[in-house]
Amino acid sequence: MSTNTSLLQVKDLVLSFSGLHVIQGLSFSVAQGSIASLIGPNGAGKTSIFNCLTGFYRPDSGKIVFNDRSIMRLKPHRITRRGMARTFQNLRLFKSMTVLENVMSGMHCRSSAGALSAILHTPGQRKEEREIREFCEQCLEFVGIQDKTDWIASNLPYGDQRRVEWARALATKPRLLLLDEPAAGLNHTEKKELIRLIRRIRDELGITILLIEHDMGLVMQISEKITVIDYGQKIAEGQAEDIQNDPRVIEAYLGREDEEEE
């Protein structure tokens, strides 16, 4: 399904906090139409990479090219408008809002009606609001919770709250979807459903996917390319079989586990 065309290119990325290097000269790419994974032990710098990609962190140096255009100095909302969406390791829903309202909030970056139109409730504004609602309902149907649009988000089971977050990300109409620990807190059945959903997002919606995930079974099953980092540096890259047998990867995971036990 993937092509040789890179939708995302990261080159020589460097990020540090108070002199401590979090990311060190990292380079990798994500092919358009692919499902790729970024893995590594705890503290390897994975979420920091996502934060750089989405504009939450400003790297010290390097290049980030998305869809053939640099996004290095863009603010998060402008990167979202370019077509990059993300979910977070910890749920970030508006707990007192309904499921539908949460998903509709994801479409603010695509809204064209100005503040005056909203205040006056013009025909154009009403039409746009109706279209946004219909599209967000389609997103909820896609992730399988269309029957809970009027539920308050905090009243949903954890697995369904995850689905709301995925639907909100889809509502931004992304070309690239970044999933940060999407399987965290899910049971075995929910993880199997997640795998099917990720494949459907790529195959049916044509959205490229890059995920961070600790569940190695899920990563190996779904990823077409895996990039492994440790202490902010790339130590391996390739397909699942190559990664599983790479001694540097084995050492990084087992070595870190030994250190944590001491």
At 123-153, the pLDDT tens digits run 666 777 888 899 999 999 999 999 999 999 9
Distance CA 140, CA 146 (A): 5
* Token digits of residue 71: 């996004």
Distances (CA, A) of 96 to 93, 104, 151, 158: 9, 14, 10, 15
Sheet holding 6-17, edge to edge: 20-31, 6-17, 61-66, 69-70
Task: Enter the pTM of the model.
Answer: 0.86
pLDDT tens-digit series, residues 50-96: 999 999 999 999 999 999 999 998 999 999 999 999 998 777 888 88
State in Å, rounded, how far the first CA of the chain is from the last one: 44
Distance CA 4, CA 162 (A): 31
Percent of the chain residues past pLDDT 70, beyond the cut: 88
Handedness of CA 192, 194, 199, 205 (dihedral sign): positive
Question: 61 pairs with which residues across the strands?
Answer: 14
Question: 15 pairs with which residues across the strands?
Answer: 23
Residue 211: how many CA atoms within 13 Å on its side-chain side? 27
- Parse the chain into domains and list their residue ranges: 1-83+175-262, 93-173
Contact (CB, 8 A) for 197 and 204: no
* Token digits of residue 249: 């990867």
* Mean pLDDT of the region 192-211: 96
For residue 170, the Cα-to-chain-centroid distance in whole angstroms is: 10
Tell me the H-state helices in the chain: 46-53, 76-82, 99-105, 115-120, 123-143, 158-171, 188-205, 216-222, 240-244, 247-261
Residue 19: how many CA atoms within 13 Å on its side-chain side? 0
Would you mind telling me the total number of residues written for the chain in this entry? 262
pLDDT value at residue 12:
97
pLDDT tens-digit series, residues 1-36: 556 699 999 999 999 998 888 999 999 999 999 999
Chain mean pLDDT for the chain = 88
The yes/no answer on whether domain 1-83+175-262 falls in CATH 3.90.79.10 is no
Question: 210 pairs with which residues across the strands?
Answer: 36, 178
Distances (CA, A) of 167 to 31, 100, 197, 210: 23, 9, 11, 16
